[in-house]
């Protein structure tokens, strides 16, 4: 299974499981979380770089990305702006995009919830953004979010716990390891409910 054919749902391992199965890599900053309860996304990354306080490159990204892509936006440290709202979610749905992950703020939470497009951000912020046609940005070029470099086609998975990004070259192996990890943990929980102790199960006497 590759990032391009991975879709959100119960079949996709959780962000935490993927992070562990990948060797504890790929976790985006903990400040980035779902903009509304129940948001969950999985799909290939489409990286976007935009200047702080300016969302014109995000508008451009809507029409450069492919259906099923997850926009992953680096705002250059300008987190205290509302880069995304009802209009952009509506446009993203019309384009068939899978969702948004942004190192910055979003707004229109009630509308975002009603629309249902998965959105992950550093929080809610009503502060408006500009549209500088001369400002430098990027589409589909590797960006850095926290300590993680995100390239086009990497697997992005976000849920209630946070967001993880798995390099495209590692996706198949990590997904397999994650499924095996889930099966192992299911068995461990069965044994714990039967009365065994975690210290013994893990050999931590």
Domain limits, the chain: 3-201
Written as tens digits, the pLDDT of the chain (205 aa) is 333 334 444 478 999 999 999 999 999 999 999 999 999 999 999 999 999 999 999 999 999 999 999 999 999 999 999 999 999 999 999 999 999 999 999 999 999 999 999 999 999 999 999 999 999 999 999 999 999 999 999 999 999 999 999 999 999 999 999 999 999 999 999 999 999 999 998 889 7
Taking the whole predicted model, whether its pTM rises above 0.85 is answered as yes
Q: Where are the alpha helices (DSSP H) in the chain?
A: 15-21, 56-64, 86-95, 109-115, 171-193, 198-201
Give the span between the Cα atoms of 68 and 188, in whole angstroms: 35
Structure tokens at 119: 């959105």
Phi-psi region of 127 (alpha: psi -120 to 50; beta: other; left: phi over 0): beta
Q: What is the CA radius of gyration of the chain?
A: 18
Domain 3-201 superfamily per CATH: Ribonuclease E inhibitor RraA/RraA-like (3.50.30.40)
Q: Distance from CA of residue 166 to its chain's centroid?
A: 10
Helix (H) or strand (E) holding 25: none
């Amino acid at each position: 299974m590759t990032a391009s054919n991975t879709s959100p749902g119960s079949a996709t391992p959780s962000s935490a499981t993927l992070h562990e199965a990948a060797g504890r890599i790929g976790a985006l900053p903990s400040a980035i979380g779902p903009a509304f309860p129940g948001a969950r996304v999985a799909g290939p990354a489409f990286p976007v770089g935009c200047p702080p306080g300016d969302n014109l490159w995000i508008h451009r990204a809507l029409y450069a990305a492919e259906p099923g892509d997850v926009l992953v936006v680096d705002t250059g440290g300008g987190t205290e702006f509302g880069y995304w709202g009802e209009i952009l979610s509506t446009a993203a749905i019309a384009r068939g995009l899978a969702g948004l992950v942004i190192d910055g703020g979003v707004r229109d939470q009630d509308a975002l919830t009603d629309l249902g497009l998965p959105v992950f951000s550093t929080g809610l912020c009503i502060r408006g953004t500009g549209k500088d046609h001369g400002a430098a940005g990027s589409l589909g070029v590797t960006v850095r979010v926290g300590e993680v470099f995100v390239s086009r086609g990497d697997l992005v998975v976000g849920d209630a716990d946070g967001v993880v990004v798995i390099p495209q070259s590692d996706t198949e192996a990590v997904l397999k390891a994650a499924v095996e990890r889930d099966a192992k943990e299911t068995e461990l929980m069965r044994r714990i409910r039967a009365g065994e102790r975690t210290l013994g199960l893990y050999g931590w006497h």
